[in-house]
Amino acid sequence: MLANAELSHDFTHLNQQFKKLVSALLDAVNIEPVRVQVDAVRSGSFRGFDATRFYLVESGSLTARYSGRTVYLLDEGDLLLPDIAGTSNANMSVVYGSEAGASLYAYAGLELMQQVFSRPAAIKVWTRLLVTYAGLMLRITAANTPESGVATPGFEEYAAGDAIIRQGERAEYVFNLSAGSAEVLVDDVVVGRINEGEIFGAMAALTQSDRSATVRARTRCSVVKVRTEQFTDLIANNPATIHSLLVDMANSIVNLNEQLVATRSPSLDR
Protein backbone atom coordinates (compact mmCIF):
# COMPACT_ATOMS: atom_id res chain seq x y z
CA MET A 1 0.00 0.00 0.00
CA LEU A 2 1.30 3.43 -0.95
CA ALA A 3 -0.02 6.66 0.53
CA ASN A 4 -0.50 9.92 -1.32
CA ALA A 5 1.48 11.65 1.44
CA GLU A 6 4.83 11.47 3.21
CA LEU A 7 4.71 8.89 6.02
CA SER A 8 7.17 7.65 8.65
CA HIS A 9 9.03 4.33 8.70
CA ASP A 10 6.38 2.66 10.88
CA PHE A 11 3.94 2.81 7.95
CA THR A 12 6.41 0.77 5.90
CA HIS A 13 6.72 -1.74 8.74
CA LEU A 14 2.94 -2.11 9.04
CA ASN A 15 2.58 -2.35 5.27
CA GLN A 16 5.04 -5.25 5.14
CA GLN A 17 3.20 -6.95 8.00
CA PHE A 18 -0.16 -6.41 6.28
CA LYS A 19 1.02 -8.14 3.10
CA LYS A 20 2.38 -11.10 5.09
CA LEU A 21 -0.96 -11.41 6.87
CA VAL A 22 -2.84 -11.23 3.55
CA SER A 23 -0.71 -14.08 2.20
CA ALA A 24 -1.20 -16.11 5.40
CA LEU A 25 -4.97 -15.57 5.32
CA LEU A 26 -5.37 -16.68 1.72
CA ASP A 27 -3.20 -19.74 2.39
CA ALA A 28 -5.38 -20.59 5.40
CA VAL A 29 -8.71 -20.41 3.55
CA ASN A 30 -7.47 -21.99 0.31
CA ILE A 31 -10.17 -20.60 -2.02
CA GLU A 32 -9.79 -20.72 -5.80
CA PRO A 33 -9.90 -17.10 -7.07
CA VAL A 34 -11.06 -15.66 -10.38
CA ARG A 35 -8.50 -13.71 -12.37
CA VAL A 36 -9.51 -10.17 -13.34
CA GLN A 37 -7.65 -8.02 -15.82
CA VAL A 38 -8.05 -4.28 -15.25
CA ASP A 39 -7.60 -1.81 -18.09
CA ALA A 40 -6.36 1.71 -17.41
CA VAL A 41 -9.24 3.77 -16.05
CA ARG A 42 -9.03 7.32 -14.65
CA SER A 43 -12.62 7.87 -13.59
CA GLY A 44 -15.06 5.54 -11.88
CA SER A 45 -14.29 2.02 -10.70
CA PHE A 46 -12.70 -0.52 -13.04
CA ARG A 47 -14.93 -2.62 -15.29
CA GLY A 48 -16.41 -5.58 -13.47
CA PHE A 49 -15.74 -4.17 -9.99
CA ASP A 50 -17.89 -5.91 -7.36
CA ALA A 51 -18.06 -4.27 -3.92
CA THR A 52 -18.84 -7.65 -2.30
CA ARG A 53 -15.55 -9.24 -3.38
CA PHE A 54 -12.02 -9.18 -2.03
CA TYR A 55 -9.33 -8.40 -4.62
CA LEU A 56 -5.66 -9.31 -4.37
CA VAL A 57 -3.32 -7.24 -6.54
CA GLU A 58 -1.11 -9.66 -8.46
CA SER A 59 0.64 -7.00 -10.55
CA GLY A 60 0.27 -3.33 -11.38
CA SER A 61 -1.54 -1.00 -8.99
CA LEU A 62 -4.99 0.29 -8.07
CA THR A 63 -5.83 3.84 -7.05
CA ALA A 64 -8.39 4.39 -4.28
CA ARG A 65 -10.26 7.69 -4.58
CA TYR A 66 -12.84 9.22 -2.27
CA SER A 67 -14.76 12.44 -2.95
CA GLY A 68 -12.52 13.06 -5.95
CA ARG A 69 -9.26 12.76 -3.98
CA THR A 70 -6.68 10.01 -4.27
CA VAL A 71 -6.33 8.44 -0.81
CA TYR A 72 -3.90 5.56 -1.36
CA LEU A 73 -2.57 3.10 -3.92
CA LEU A 74 -2.68 -0.68 -3.68
CA ASP A 75 0.27 -2.50 -5.20
CA GLU A 76 1.43 -6.11 -5.54
CA GLY A 77 0.39 -8.24 -2.56
CA ASP A 78 -2.22 -5.80 -1.26
CA LEU A 79 -5.80 -6.80 -0.53
CA LEU A 80 -8.76 -4.61 -1.46
CA LEU A 81 -11.39 -5.12 1.24
CA PRO A 82 -15.11 -4.82 0.39
CA ASP A 83 -16.53 -1.33 0.81
CA ILE A 84 -19.65 -2.00 2.89
CA ALA A 85 -20.73 1.65 3.15
CA GLY A 86 -20.42 2.20 -0.58
CA THR A 87 -22.83 -0.59 -1.47
CA SER A 88 -25.76 1.27 0.08
CA ASN A 89 -24.89 4.85 -0.85
CA ALA A 90 -23.09 5.76 -4.06
CA ASN A 91 -22.09 9.14 -2.62
CA MET A 92 -20.13 7.33 0.09
CA SER A 93 -18.36 4.93 -2.27
CA VAL A 94 -14.61 4.61 -2.62
CA VAL A 95 -13.75 4.49 -6.33
CA TYR A 96 -11.02 2.15 -7.57
CA GLY A 97 -9.15 2.76 -10.80
CA SER A 98 -5.76 2.07 -12.34
CA GLU A 99 -3.41 4.48 -14.07
CA ALA A 100 -1.74 1.83 -16.23
CA GLY A 101 -3.80 -1.32 -15.69
CA ALA A 102 -3.48 -4.19 -13.23
CA SER A 103 -3.95 -7.91 -12.81
CA LEU A 104 -6.09 -9.03 -9.85
CA TYR A 105 -7.38 -12.16 -8.17
CA ALA A 106 -11.03 -11.88 -7.06
CA TYR A 107 -12.45 -13.79 -4.08
CA ALA A 108 -16.15 -14.03 -3.26
CA GLY A 109 -16.53 -12.12 0.00
CA LEU A 110 -19.18 -14.34 1.60
CA GLU A 111 -17.35 -17.57 0.79
CA LEU A 112 -14.03 -16.21 2.05
CA MET A 113 -15.52 -15.06 5.36
CA GLN A 114 -17.33 -18.39 5.84
CA GLN A 115 -13.98 -20.11 5.43
CA VAL A 116 -12.34 -17.71 7.88
CA PHE A 117 -15.01 -18.21 10.57
CA SER A 118 -14.75 -21.99 10.29
CA ARG A 119 -10.98 -22.05 10.98
CA PRO A 120 -9.62 -20.82 14.35
CA ALA A 121 -6.18 -20.19 12.85
CA ALA A 122 -7.71 -18.10 10.06
CA ILE A 123 -9.78 -16.11 12.58
CA LYS A 124 -6.61 -15.12 14.41
CA VAL A 125 -4.89 -14.03 11.17
CA TRP A 126 -8.01 -12.12 10.12
CA THR A 127 -8.09 -10.28 13.46
CA ARG A 128 -4.42 -9.30 13.17
CA LEU A 129 -5.03 -8.20 9.57
CA LEU A 130 -7.89 -5.90 10.64
CA VAL A 131 -5.86 -4.36 13.46
CA THR A 132 -2.91 -3.78 11.10
CA TYR A 133 -5.21 -2.35 8.43
CA ALA A 134 -6.64 0.06 11.02
CA GLY A 135 -3.10 1.16 11.84
CA LEU A 136 -2.38 1.85 8.17
CA MET A 137 -5.58 3.85 7.71
CA LEU A 138 -4.85 5.90 10.85
CA ARG A 139 -1.47 6.90 9.44
CA ILE A 140 -2.91 7.86 6.09
CA THR A 141 -5.58 9.92 7.84
CA ALA A 142 -3.01 11.57 10.10
CA ALA A 143 -0.79 12.42 7.13
CA ASN A 144 -3.70 14.29 5.54
CA THR A 145 -4.78 16.04 8.76
CA PRO A 146 -3.66 19.59 9.68
CA GLU A 147 -0.86 19.68 12.24
CA SER A 148 -3.24 20.96 14.89
CA GLY A 149 -5.16 17.70 14.71
CA VAL A 150 -4.51 14.94 17.25
CA ALA A 151 -3.20 11.74 15.66
CA THR A 152 -3.14 8.27 17.23
CA PRO A 153 0.45 6.99 17.58
CA GLY A 154 -0.72 3.52 16.54
CA PHE A 155 2.64 1.76 16.39
CA GLU A 156 5.57 1.53 18.78
CA GLU A 157 8.69 -0.50 19.45
CA TYR A 158 9.97 -1.43 22.91
CA ALA A 159 13.36 -2.68 24.04
CA ALA A 160 13.66 -5.68 26.36
CA GLY A 161 12.72 -4.60 29.86
CA ASP A 162 10.53 -1.67 28.79
CA ALA A 163 7.01 -1.42 30.23
CA ILE A 164 4.32 -1.49 27.54
CA ILE A 165 1.47 -1.25 30.06
CA ARG A 166 1.76 -0.20 33.70
CA GLN A 167 -0.48 -1.51 36.46
CA GLY A 168 -2.86 1.14 37.78
CA GLU A 169 -2.79 3.32 34.65
CA ARG A 170 -5.92 4.30 32.78
CA ALA A 171 -6.59 2.20 29.66
CA GLU A 172 -6.27 4.28 26.49
CA TYR A 173 -5.19 1.62 24.02
CA VAL A 174 -5.62 -2.04 23.12
CA PHE A 175 -2.45 -3.68 21.81
CA ASN A 176 -1.56 -6.34 19.27
CA LEU A 177 1.92 -7.81 19.66
CA SER A 178 3.21 -8.00 16.09
CA ALA A 179 6.75 -9.13 16.99
CA GLY A 180 8.60 -10.28 20.11
CA SER A 181 7.37 -11.60 23.46
CA ALA A 182 6.30 -9.96 26.71
CA GLU A 183 5.51 -10.96 30.28
CA VAL A 184 2.60 -10.05 32.54
CA LEU A 185 3.28 -8.93 36.12
CA VAL A 186 0.91 -8.28 39.02
CA ASP A 187 2.52 -6.44 41.94
CA ASP A 188 5.93 -7.14 40.36
CA VAL A 189 5.28 -10.92 40.25
CA VAL A 190 5.38 -12.58 36.81
CA VAL A 191 2.01 -14.28 36.20
CA GLY A 192 1.96 -14.88 32.46
CA ARG A 193 3.41 -14.36 29.02
CA ILE A 194 2.20 -12.73 25.80
CA ASN A 195 3.36 -14.17 22.48
CA GLU A 196 3.52 -12.78 18.97
CA GLY A 197 0.10 -12.27 17.40
CA GLU A 198 -1.83 -11.94 20.68
CA ILE A 199 -4.13 -9.06 21.60
CA PHE A 200 -3.69 -7.67 25.11
CA GLY A 201 -4.90 -4.78 27.22
CA ALA A 202 -8.50 -5.31 26.13
CA MET A 203 -10.02 -6.20 29.51
CA ALA A 204 -9.42 -2.78 31.09
CA ALA A 205 -10.54 -1.09 27.87
CA LEU A 206 -13.81 -3.05 27.70
CA THR A 207 -14.59 -2.60 31.42
CA GLN A 208 -13.38 1.03 31.45
CA SER A 209 -11.20 0.30 34.46
CA ASP A 210 -7.55 0.86 35.35
CA ARG A 211 -4.87 -1.60 34.27
CA SER A 212 -4.82 -4.64 36.58
CA ALA A 213 -1.32 -5.73 35.51
CA THR A 214 1.94 -4.55 34.02
CA VAL A 215 3.10 -5.86 30.64
CA ARG A 216 6.86 -5.76 30.13
CA ALA A 217 8.83 -6.60 26.99
CA ARG A 218 10.95 -9.76 27.38
CA THR A 219 12.58 -9.21 23.98
CA ARG A 220 12.47 -6.32 21.53
CA CYS A 221 8.75 -5.88 20.80
CA SER A 222 6.73 -4.25 18.05
CA VAL A 223 3.10 -3.44 18.87
CA VAL A 224 0.12 -1.98 17.05
CA LYS A 225 -1.91 0.37 19.27
CA VAL A 226 -5.62 0.97 18.74
CA ARG A 227 -7.54 3.48 20.84
CA THR A 228 -10.11 1.87 23.13
CA GLU A 229 -13.09 3.52 21.45
CA GLN A 230 -11.89 2.36 18.03
CA PHE A 231 -11.36 -1.16 19.33
CA THR A 232 -14.90 -1.19 20.73
CA ASP A 233 -16.24 -0.30 17.29
CA LEU A 234 -14.04 -2.98 15.73
CA ILE A 235 -15.36 -5.84 17.85
CA ALA A 236 -18.94 -4.57 17.49
CA ASN A 237 -18.72 -4.94 13.71
CA ASN A 238 -16.43 -8.00 13.46
CA PRO A 239 -17.54 -11.12 15.39
CA ALA A 240 -14.29 -12.89 14.45
CA THR A 241 -12.39 -10.35 16.54
CA ILE A 242 -14.40 -11.37 19.60
CA HIS A 243 -13.51 -15.03 19.07
CA SER A 244 -9.81 -14.28 18.74
CA LEU A 245 -9.92 -12.02 21.80
CA LEU A 246 -11.60 -14.75 23.86
CA VAL A 247 -8.94 -17.25 22.78
CA ASP A 248 -6.16 -14.90 23.88
CA MET A 249 -7.91 -14.22 27.19
CA ALA A 250 -8.40 -17.96 27.76
CA ASN A 251 -4.69 -18.53 27.12
CA SER A 252 -3.88 -15.80 29.64
CA ILE A 253 -6.05 -17.50 32.27
CA VAL A 254 -4.35 -20.85 31.61
CA ASN A 255 -0.92 -19.22 31.97
CA LEU A 256 -2.01 -17.56 35.22
CA ASN A 257 -3.30 -20.86 36.63
CA GLU A 258 -0.04 -22.59 35.75
CA GLN A 259 1.92 -19.81 37.45
CA LEU A 260 -0.22 -20.06 40.59
CA VAL A 261 0.26 -23.84 40.72
CA ALA A 262 4.03 -23.43 40.33
CA THR A 263 4.08 -20.81 43.10
CA ARG A 264 2.12 -22.98 45.55
CA SER A 265 3.89 -26.28 44.78
CA PRO A 266 6.80 -25.82 47.28
CA SER A 267 4.39 -25.30 50.19
CA LEU A 268 2.36 -28.35 49.17
CA ASP A 269 5.46 -30.56 49.39
CA ARG A 270 6.12 -29.70 53.04
**Is 140 a residue whose pLDDT tops 60?**
yes
* Distance, CA of 138 to CA of 10 (rounded, Å): 12
Task: Kindly report, residue by residue over 184-223, the tens digit of the pLDDT.
Answer: 999 998 988 898 888 888 877 777 788 889 999 999 999 9
Query: By C-alpha distance, which of 150, 127, 128, 148 is closest to 138?
Result: 150
In the prediction, which pLDDT does 252 show? 58
Parse the chain into domains and list their residue ranges.
2-119, 155-268
In the prediction, which pLDDT does 247 show? 56
| CATH class of the domain whose range is 155-268 | mainly beta
**Is 267 a residue whose pLDDT tops 50?**
no
Q: Are 59 and 76 in contact (CB under 8 A)?
A: yes
Residue 4: pLDDT band with limits 50, 70, 90? low
* Distance, CA of 117 to CA of 99 (rounded, Å): 35
Question: Which string of DSSP letters, residue by residue, matches 4-28?
Answer: SS---HHHHHHHHHHHHHHHHHHHH
In the prediction, which pLDDT does 6 show? 59
Q: Averaged over 47-58, what is the pLDDT?
A: 90
Residues above pLDDT 70, as percent of the chain: 75
**CATH number given to 2-119:** 2.60.120.10
In the prediction, which pLDDT does 235 show? 62
